[in-house]
Each structure stands twice: as structure tokens, then as C-alpha cells.
Chain A
Amino acid sequence: MTVPGAWYLVLAAVLFGLGATGLLIRRNVLVMFMCVELMLNAVNLTFVTFARLLDDVGGQVSVLFVLVVAAAEVVVGLAIIVAMFRRRAAATADDIHVLRG
């Protein structure tokens, strides 16, 4: 344990803040999705850091589950975006404020 865990946690917090800011700033749905991925990765980094600090394998197992859930989320989300584009060519989140087809 050479680099103190606090450095990783601060880095993860900064990454999470950047992801949240990007999610709020960008209007393209795909880029908003990528910002969600950034936030998920920040949480993964936190999990791994706590697993190391607490000497607990549960943190790394949680990262594995987060990976699976993120993959499923991306698949369904991109399918929704593709279905949305079929109906109307809209790339921004403002164009899809109505939930019906």
C-alpha cells in the first residue's frame, strides 16, 4: 500500500463531479450517456480503493456487478436511442421530453 487511499478517493470524487457536470451541460443524448459511464467508473474506482483499504474482497466483487449492470444499461439505453431516432431524427435531450411514441 504505497499511494495513500485518499488520493484515489479524491481522484474518484473529481471524476464523479466532472461526469455530473457533463451530464448537465451536454445536450446530445449519446454524450450524456458517456458522462453516466464516467460517473460509474468513478464509483468503481472508489469500490476498488475501499476494497484495498479494508482488505475486503467484497469491494472488487461489487465492481464486477457494476460492470455487468453498466453493460446491460448501455445495451438497453442505446436500443432506446436507436428506436427514438427511427421515429424522429432528434439527438438532443430537449427534443424527447415527451415519453410517448
Chain B
Amino acid sequence: MYAGFLASAASSGTDLANASAWAVFLVGAAMILTGAFGVILLRNPVHCALMLVITLFGIALEFIDQSADFLAAVQIIVYAGAIVILFLFVIMFLGVDRREAAGPEATKFQKPIALILGAVSLVEILILSQVDHWVSGAPSVAGRLDGPGENVQKLGQSIYTRYLLPFEMTAALLVIAVVAAVVLSRRQQPGASELRAADKEKLVVGPGGAE
């Protein structure tokens, strides 16, 4: 397919563009698969998180290859910059990296069954994709992606007009998530009026001590 593409390319300019697009795609794919296998196979959770970073950078490369520039930047900022850092923080905060449990499996057949199920799901997806038309449906429903204008401009116009309500809902969702995180990770302290069991025992009034 690659050779055919190169042969059909008219000028050397498109030739070079094709070759560079393929190069970016292949490098990104290699990064994605390496990182994914690393996340699955490595035993130390810290190494898994770092492998996840490699996968996320590969995804960003594929975004750039498909001229989704803004999303590539957001991908690196949000995922590699925030989410993975949060993962690493929690891993080191809890000290899970030192304490990789090698205990007995709860169910003996968990790993073989999991492997079989994963392979079956992958094969199913690939079989489902073996149709003639990869894409069906009306093009450019929410607005054109090609054409004049910057990628960021089109995204912004779409978000603030057509997708305004979902955008507002994500804002509410983020506020709820922050409140939930604070509530969940707060240490439970007894209220001012509550007495602990030890304090209650001290308060037992002896005979004659009561008024």
C-alpha cells in the first residue's frame, strides 16, 4: 500500500509529504505499542506510569499526523502533565512501589481467561472492521474540519455554539469531581460535640459524685 501511494504521488513534494506522514505514523505506532505492552507487563507501578507517558506521547504524535494540533497539545498537557503526575503522586504517596504484592492468585485461571478474553475482544473488533466502508454517515455534520481557518478557531467556534450545553456540563462535572475528591480524601475527624469511647469512660460518674 505504501509503495502504491508513493507511485501514485505525482510530484516529489507530495512524495516527501507522504513519506513524512508515514514516518510520523510509524514512530507514533511504535511508541504506542511499546508503552501499552510496558503498562501491561511491567511489575513496578512507577514503571507502568512512565510507560503510559510513552503511549500518550505516541497518541499525541498521531494527533499531529492527522492535523489535530490543538488536541495534541492538550493531550500532552492534560494527560502527561496532569493525570500521569497524579498517578505517580498517588503511587509514591501510598508507597505501592515498594510493596508489589506477590500473593497467591484469588482464582487460578484468572490470567489465561483474561488473555483469551482480551484476544477475543481484539479479534472481534478487527473482524467488525472488515467491512467495505470504514466510514459511513453524513460528512461535516457539526461543521467542516478542512478549509480556511485554524484548527483551534474551528474547535472553539463549535464548542461555544453547537456544543455549548455539553461544555457547561463538563464545567459542572469538574466542580463535582473536585468536591468529591476533597470529601473522599479528607480524614474523618470527630465533631466537636462528639465524644470518643475513651473520653466517655473517663466521664463515668462514681457513686456520690453525681449531683
Contacts and interface: CB of A to CB of B under 8 A. Distances in A.
A68 B173 contact: yes
Contacts of A49: 66
A54 B65 CA distance: 16
Contacts of A10: 126, 129
Contacts of B68: 48, 51-52, 60, 63
A6 B25 CA distance: 12
Contacts, number: 250
B144 A55 contact: yes
Contacts of B176: 72
Given A22-B40, A34-B39, A58-B143, A3 B22 contact: yes
B119 A21 contact: yes
B163 to A, nearest CB: 5
Interface residues of B, number: 93
Contacts of A60: 68, 70-71, 145, 151, 155
A20 B155 CA distance: 30
Contacts of A67: 74-75, 78-79
Interface in A1-42: 2-11, 13-22, 24-28, 30-31, 33-35, 37-38, 41
7 contacts: A21-B117, A34-B52, A41-B56, A52-B68, A60-B151, A68-B174, A76-B180
